Amino acid sequence: MHDQFHTIVIGAGSGGLTVAVGLSSLGKAVAVLEALHVGGDCTNVGCVPSKTLIHQAEERGTLDPEGALAEVRRKRDALREKETHEFGELPNLSLIFGRARLVSRTQVAVRLPEGGERMLQAENIVIATGARPRKLVIPGLPEQRMLTNETVFELPVVPHHLAIIGGGVIGVELAFAFRKLGSRVTMLDSSPRLLTRHLREAAEAIEASLAAKGVELHLNTSVQGYDEATQALHIERNGSVATLHDVDYVLVAVGRQRNLDGLGLEEVGVTFDSRNGIAADSYGRTNVPGIYAIGDVTATSAFTHSANAQGRRVVQRIAFPWLPATTPEPFYPSATFADPEVATAGMSQRDLAARYHPALIKRIRVDLVTQTDRGYTDDLHHGFIIVDTVRLTGKILSVTIVGPRASEMISLFTLAIQERISLYRLYRVVYPYPTFSSGIQKVADAFMRETLPNLRGELATYLRYRWARPARVADVTVPLGARAAE
């Protein structure tokens, strides 16, 4: 092992490993520094255990909840071991456990677990240290009753009454899972609704589904404190106080905090702030040449698939610097594995509002429950497709799907948006019957039906508002907020 590398990657999570595997397979000597576990959040405390739990909860339900939890740990440990072994064996890749700190623009010091420090040098440094759950202080709550996504999968038995604070992706996914495993589940959020980054309709569908499954919801609500003697969680809404009884665990899922501390960013002059993390462009380049940042430690989409995609772009930049850096960053899709699932593609509603005059946007909603035969045969309770499109042209801007297979259906729209395929062209696609995707046919039908008989009016609206800018909104920054690190 040499202390001189082509590239040093700090953090062996989804983003960091993508860079490390990509560059090492191209023959570059890469060091990957990891403070804890190979696989990062995704493998250890994120998507893998949560999706395994969701699947196990579906399969075992209340019959064997402890078996479900044990299986989650078994599969997670097996995957971690496999990945650690595989990445450790890759040629040109050195996996080094320890805590990293930038010393100069080309040097990283690693504090080794066995003690001592090791100094590494490379022309490229990629920071992929991710994020961790934000803490919350709840007066009176003993530490062993407080859970986050980092500890919840260690539970040997399911909670009797689980209070979940935070109605973002993590909170919602785990609410469904633990409810199916038999826990009493109560969700609290200080916002007036769940999933605040999604369309109101999506949040309402999920709220209705949670309620139908027996999950209690308390919105606009904050937590006051906990009384260990009576296992009472005191909450407050609009000035009035209430009590949740028999709460044995509190899961805190109130957003995430970027791992910026102790990295030596100030020392080498990397621009960052605590709200948006490290400033990086769409190819991961920070303000310091040779230093890159990707994944949750930056301000971009906080998903495993976006960290992977960013990692690919960094590999391209580092390995082929002469290629033009002009490929636009993709619109990252999102998926929330609730029941039903919620998936989005294209621009966020915030970006949309910033760039297009509202009169220019035609919104089409197709109900999967009442407008598709699959919704009928499968007794669907909640589901829809909402597409925001440009009037007249049918250009697809933003899509939200709520439904049992939304996370798979959404990629057709990601492709359509990437390839600038309008609803006129989508109209020609034939979907298998009976599927939920045939709702996409109905979206195109509705656009045609509402546009073609009124071409003159649509054209007039288009010409009037195409270059009209909406009132300026605040800068579009993306704090991690209540998002999942997946």
Q: Which stretch binds a copy of itself (CB under 8 A): 137-145, 192-200, 387-395, 408-416?
A: 408-416
Strand arrangement of the beta sheet that strand 232-237 belongs to: 221-227, 232-237, 240-244
- Verify binding: residue 274, a copy of itself, rule CB under 8 A: no
Q: Which of 10, 12, 31, 42 binds a copy of itself (CB under 8 A)?
A: 42
CB of 434 to a copy of itself, least distance (A): 5
Q: Which of 98, 333, 346, 394 binds a copy of itself (CB under 8 A)?
A: 333
> Does residue 173 have a known ligand-binding role?
yes
Contacts 24+ apart (CB under 8 A), 56-62: 57/176, 57/177, 57/178, 57/180, 57/181, 58/180, 60/181, 61/180, 61/181, 61/182, 62/180, 62/181, 62/182
Q: Is 282 helix (H, G, I), strand (E, B) or coil?
A: coil
Maximum Cα–Cα distance across the chain: 75
- Verify binding: residue 118, a copy of itself, rule CB under 8 A: no
- Verify binding: residue 426, a copy of itself, rule CB under 8 A: yes
Q: Scanning residues 191 to 230, which ones bind a copy of itself (CB under 8 A)?
A: none
Per-residue contact flags (x/-) with a copy of itself for residues 349 to 388, judged by CB under 8 A: ------------------------xx-xxxx---------
Per-residue contact flags (x/-) with a copy of itself for residues 52 to 91, judged by CB under 8 A: x--x---x---------------x---x------------
Q: Is 35 helix (H, G, I), strand (E, B) or coil?
A: coil
For a copy of itself, the closer CB: 445 or 458: 445
Q: Which of 24, 106, 183, 437 binds a copy of itself (CB under 8 A)?
A: 437
Q: Which of 276, 435, 454, 461 binds a copy of itself (CB under 8 A)?
A: 435
- Verify binding: residue 431, a copy of itself, rule CB under 8 A: yes
The DSSP element (H or E) to which 89 belongs, if any, is: helix 65-89
Any residues with CB less than 8 A from the CB of 141 and at least 6 apart, and which?
A: 225, 226, 228, 250
- Verify binding: residue 486, a copy of itself, rule CB under 8 A: yes
Cα separation, 164 vs 156, whole angstroms: 18
- Whether the bond between 340 and the residue before it is cis, its omega within 30 degrees of 0, is yes
For a copy of itself, the closer CB: 308 or 349: 308
- Verify binding: residue 440, a copy of itself, rule CB under 8 A: yes
> Does residue 172 have a known ligand-binding role?
yes
For a copy of itself, the closer CB: 233 or 386: 386
DSSP for 436-470? TTHHHHHHHHHHHHHHGGGHHHHHHHHHHHSSPPP
The DSSP element (H or E) to which 252 belongs, if any, is: strand 249-252
Cα separation, 170 vs 185, whole angstroms: 14
**Which DSSP letter does residue 380 get?**
-
Q: Which of 89, 114, 419, 475 binds a copy of itself (CB under 8 A)?
A: 419
CB of 75 to a copy of itself, least distance (A): 7
DSSP for 101-152? EE-SSSEEEEE-TTSSEEEEEEEEEEE---EEEPP---TT--GGGEE-TTTG
CB of 300 to a copy of itself, least distance (A): 12
CB of 27 to a copy of itself, least distance (A): 12
Task: Judge contact between 15 and 295, C-beta under 8 A.
Answer: yes
Any residues with CB less than 8 A from the CB of 452 and at least 6 apart, and which?
A: none
Q: Which of 40, 438, 444, 483 binds a copy of itself (CB under 8 A)?
A: 438
Bridge partners, residue 122, by sequence: 5
CB of 449 to a copy of itself, least distance (A): 9
CB of 278 to a copy of itself, least distance (A): 21
> Does residue 171 have a known ligand-binding role?
yes
- Verify binding: residue 436, a copy of itself, rule CB under 8 A: yes
> Does residue 246 have a known ligand-binding role?
no
**Which DSSP letter does residue 13 get?**
S
Any residues with CB less than 8 A from the CB of 446 and at least 6 apart, and which?
A: 364, 366
CB of 461 to a copy of itself, least distance (A): 25
The DSSP element (H or E) to which 210 belongs, if any, is: helix 200-212
CB atoms within 10 A of CB 63: 10
User: Which parts of this chain interact with a copy of itself (CB under 8 A)?
Assistant: 14, 42, 47-48, 51-52, 55, 59, 75, 79, 303-306, 308-309, 327, 330, 332-335, 343, 373-374, 376-379, 405, 407-412, 414-416, 418-419, 421, 425-426, 428-438, 440, 486
